[in-house]
Amino acid sequence: MLPIRHLINKIKWDKREKPEEYKIYYFDRILNKLISIPYTKIKRLDG
């Protein structure tokens, strides 16, 4: 399995990919629900 950073960079740099077609999902344990973020809303990737 690839780290999420590798997948995000592939979407960003691979010319065959269309970033506007992707969403990132994560489970928020505080809100107890699945959160979705459009790839185009990601400003930077730290760490």
pLDDT (tens digit per residue) in 1-46: 888 889 888 999 999 999 999 999 999 999 999 999 999 998 877 7
Looking at per-residue pLDDT, the higher value among 47 and 17 belongs to 17
pLDDT at 47: 62
Per-residue confidence (pLDDT) for residue 35, from 0 to 100: 97
Bridge partners, residue 28, by sequence: 33
pTM: 0.70
Q: What is the pLDDT of residues 22-33, one digit of tens each?
A: 999 999 999 999
Give the integer Cα–Cα distance in Å for 12 and 20.
Answer: 10
